[in-house]
Amino acid sequence: MIDFVTSNWAIRGLSLIVVFGLVAIAVFAATNHFSRRMRVSRELSALSGDPHGPTAESLTRKRNDGAWAKIVKGIESAGLNLGDTAETEITKQLRAAGYMSSSAPRVYTLVRLILIFVLPGLFLLNVYFQPEPPSLMRIYFTCAIFAVLGLYLPNLFVRAKADRRRTEIVNGFPDSLDLMLVCVEAGLGLESTLDRVGREMAVSHPRIAEMLTQTTLLMRAGASREDALRKLGDGAGVDEIRSFTTLLIQSDKLGTSLANTLRVYSSEMREARRLRAEEKAHRLPVLLSIPLVVFMLPTMIGVIILPAIILAIRQVLPAMAGN
């Protein structure tokens, strides 16, 4: 077996590729594990430091004083305004994608401006080092296409990230509703329930835990329940959570049972999730028919008619030619 592997170059190359892949996966896993441990230890050391020292930065300050935010502040202090006429719509879109910083719309505009010039510049740099550069018209149209791509690629990225975040929230929210129901039936209030569920789901569903924790902090800071819950629905950007917060507000105003409300809405969300799964399952045959028609149908037709073609070449065509 070893002689066969060493003598066959294909098997030898495949073996080397497999060994390289296993080593790369092991190195990546080890690096990821140690980097996570180092990051957690740094965060713990920062939290356990002096509350009045330089390490005691709030999450909002860290989020607002990032590298991109500092670049934006430097550019705007130089006299270039990065504000947009549709900044409200951009802010909603970025919040749906998880970018809660106040400087996120201006960073988004800056990234689009950079890509408009960087992508054509990279193409021109590639053209410069080519021995035979293309025509001027081709360079012009290619640069125009790359500029349009640089303008719309951040929008596509933000939309895709918002869709992934929305899917994660919708799929994980029924579990949080079950935990809320257990906490409410155990005798906890709404604020204590949100705080407890937010801490319990920090690992399994971190996005939902972040939203619930922010809502709890708003209530503790003095905001009313209605305002905090409405901000929860608007910040999530998901219709199901917006309906849930509206239901909680109405239940709080009318004095109805919060446990019954959570039980009914949890069952409805699970039913909706089951219907979405069934819808995706019913779409599979239609999606599978496309590769079947494109790849397998021509092969099957060729296999079926190949004997007839051979028979026609060997007998029919010579008979027609008079031989």
Query: What does the alpha-carbon distance between residue 169 and residue 151 come to, in Å, rounded to a whole number?
Result: 29
Q: Residue 263: its pLDDT value, please? A: 83
Give the rounded percent of residues in the chain with a pLDDT score beyond 70: 80
pLDDT band at 1 (very low <50, low <70, confident <90, very high): low
Read off the pLDDT band of 49 (50, 70, 90).
very low
Q: Per mean pLDDT, which range of 159-168, 233-242, 281-290 is the poorest?
A: 233-242
Cα–Cα distance, 193 to 306 (Å, whole number): 71
**Is residue 297's pLDDT more than 70?**
yes
Residue of 72 and 218 predicted with greater confidence: 218
Over pLDDT 90: what percentage of the chain? 0
pLDDT in tens, 220-238: 888 888 888 888 877 777 7
In this predicted structure, the answer to whether residue 100 has a pLDDT above a threshold of 70 is yes
Q: Where do the structural domains in the chain lie, given as residue ranges?
A: 2-47, 65-165, 167-270
What pTM was estimated for this model as a whole?
A: 0.59
Asked if residues 169 and 238 have their Cβ atoms less than 8 Å apart, the reply is: yes
d(CA 76, CA 78): 5
Lowest pLDDT segment from 36-45, 89-98, 107-116, 245-254: 36-45
**Mean residue pLDDT across the chain:** 77
Reply yes or no on whether the pLDDT at 82 is more than 50: yes
Torsion of CA 261, 266, 272, 275, to 10 degrees: -140
Q: Which residue has the higher pLDDT, 156 or 4?
A: 156
DSSP designation for 132? S
What is the structure's pLDDT at 84?
Answer: 63
The residues near 45 (Cβ < 8 Å, ≥ 6 apart) are 55
172-192 average pLDDT score:
83
- Which position has the token pair 């009318």? 254
Q: Mean of the pLDDT values across residues 294-322?
A: 83
Distance CA 269, CA 267 (A): 6
